Structure formats: structure tokens, C-alpha cells
Structure 1
Amino acid sequence: MLLRKGMKLGKKIDEIIVGEKLLLNEKIEDKDLLLYLGLTNDNNPLYIQHDYAVGTPYKKPIIPAIMLNGIITSAISKHLPGPGSHIREQNILYLEPVYLNETIQLLLEVQHIDLNQNILEIYVNAFKEKNIQVLDGVLKVVPPY
């Protein structure tokens, strides 16, 4: 989606408070995985071949970590802080695999605000069914100017 003239940008740094949160539920389906694979030409058998994946500790194909990053990036771009923001740095641990058609609950929370550098530190984590944590990380985000 292109930013239309007159469309509201996301929150500027002085409109954000420490402790502000965003909670989202996301599900990666076949169409999402196929779009990713087509766009990146990533043909890792761990993502697409059941015959290969069954012989791994995962037992079935897993979602590429970069797709989980895409959900995080989208949440930053759309919601917190929103349109016009930019991720400058990220440190994310992928704790457990996410499988096709699993729903993850993503939580972003503003932990620190650096007014001088115009940077937010946002904590991110995600859980799948049965409250299993799948990722944990910190992002440094420049909100819109």
C-alpha cells in the first residue's frame, strides 16, 4: 500500500509512552509461504518438502524465520509506531519452530525512548498454541518524523 497524500503517519516519538503495547494474532497459511518462496527463490527443503522434514527433529516443514520477521516489520510499519517508521536494529532469538497454519500471538512493548536520537527500543515476543514461546527479541525503531 502506498502512502496516499494526506494519509496520517504513525506516532511521532513525543506521542509514544514507555509501556505502550501492541498485541496481534497472525497465521501463516499456504498462500503466504508460496508468495515468500516465489519472491525469494528459497527452495530450502525444510520449508517445503514433507519427505525431507519428517527425517529432521521438526518432523514437518517449518516457517522460515524471515517470514516471522516480516510479521514483526509489518506490525511496526502499520501500528507501533506506524507508517513512516523504520527498524534500525534487531536482535531476535527463534526459540521454537512455527509450522504452517499455526497461529502466533505477537506482543510488542515500548521499553525505552531516546528522545535525543529519535529511537524507540521495542521488546517483541511471540507465542504459539499451548503458550509456547517461539521468539524473543528487541528492536530499535525510528518513528516517523
Structure 2
Amino acid sequence: MLLGKKRKLGRKIEELSVGETLQLAEKIEDKDLLLYLGLTNDSNPLYIQNDYASQTSFQKPVVPTIMLNGVVTSAISKYIPGPGSYITAQQFDYPQPLYHYDTIHILLEVTKVNIERNEVTVGITGCNDVGELVMQGKVIANPPIGEQHNSASKKDKI
């Protein structure tokens, strides 16, 4: 249980550098799609029904793009910059769909570090199992500010 347990903060802005990368892969399974549909009440048959999807240009069910965003925001929260970070902006394009049971391979790369604004820009590239681009864009996040920053500003106010 995480309540009451002090968790380690992610990296501060000074600990991040342009060019830093992280690669991850996540397979999209039925359970993931069913959780998404249940949470959002999104009933688009293109996401889950083979018969329906076969009548479209996609030919088979596709993964909702917001689920791909979720994989990215999870990586921001876990790794770059990590726990305590807050996403302030995101922009994505989806040149091709990702299909059920495909694995998305995502590359995150720090492209800009703005110490004055406590802001990091992370470029995102996502490909399917055969290397086709299914997602690209960027996320802007505020890394956590450590306790020493907060306590220093509290002292300044006293």
C-alpha cells in the first residue's frame, strides 16, 4: 500500500540532459482494451469488434490512440523525469494504427531542458513490431522540485 509511504522523487531538472533516451516496449492485450473501454465508456466498435472492423479500411480492430498516450505518460511518470513530474503539454500524430496484440516500441528522447522554467521536452517515437511509425510527438513536463528547493523558499518567506 502506498498511502503513508514516502516515495522517492524523480530526477530534478539539473539531473536531465539533452540527448538522454529511454526505449520501452508494451504489448497491447485484450485486458488492456477492456479496461480502457470500461473506464471511458467509449463504445467505438472499431476498437474491439472483429466483424465491424473488417468492414472498415483498417480490416481489424485498432488500439485507441489515447491508450498509446497512456503508455507515454506512464513512462514520463516512471522514468523521464520520473515520480512527481507533471505533464503540462503533449502533441502527438498517429500516421498508422496500432492493431490488437501488436507491441508498441517507444523511444523517448530529451530534446530540450529549460532550467529557468523547470521544464523538459521529451520527443516521442513509437513503432509497431515491423518498424512502421504509429506515433510521434512530444511531451513537455515539469520535473519534481526537491525538498531542499521547497524548504529554501519557505525560509525566504519567513
**TM superposition score normalised by structure 1:** 0.96
Number of residue equivalences: 145
Question: What is the letter of the counterpart of residue 61 of structure 2?
Answer: P
Q: 2:151 aligns to what?
A: none
Question: Percent same amino acid at aligned positions?
Answer: 53
1:87-112 CA-to-partner distances (Å, cap 9, x unmatched) read 11011001110111101110000000
Runs of 5+ unmatched residues, structure 2: 146-158
Counterpart CA distance in 2 for 1:73 and 1:88 is 11
Map of 1:39-78 to 2, 5 A cutoff?
Answer: 39-78=39-78
Q: 1:141 aligns to what?
A: 141
Q: CA deviation at 1:3?
A: 6.9
Q: 1:17 aligns to what?
A: 17
1:31-65 CA-to-partner distances (Å, cap 9, x unmatched) read 01011111111110111121111111100110000
Q: Rg: which structure is higher?
A: 2
Q: Is the strand fraction higher in 1 or 2?
A: 1
Counterpart CA distance in 1 for 2:74 and 2:55 is 33
Map of 1:105-124 to 2, 5 A cutoff?
Answer: 105-124=105-124
Alpha-carbon RMSD: 1.3
Counterpart CA distance in 2 for 1:125 and 1:114 is 21
Q: 2:32 aligns to what?
A: 32
Q: 1:5 aligns to what?
A: 5
CA 3–73 in structure 1, closer or farther in 2 if over 3 Å, else same: farther
Q: CA deviation at 1:5?
A: 3.2
Runs of 5+ unmatched residues, structure 1: none
Q: CA deviation at 1:6?
A: 3.2
Q: CA deviation at 1:2?
A: 4.0
Map of 1:70-109 to 2, 5 A cutoff?
Answer: 70-109=70-109
Counterpart CA distance in 2 for 1:113 and 1:61 is 38
Give secondary structure in 2 for the equivalent of 1:62.
Answer: coil
Q: 2:132 aligns to what?
A: 132
Q: CA deviation at 1:20?
A: 0.8
Question: What is the letter of the counterpart of residue 116 of structure 1?
Answer: E
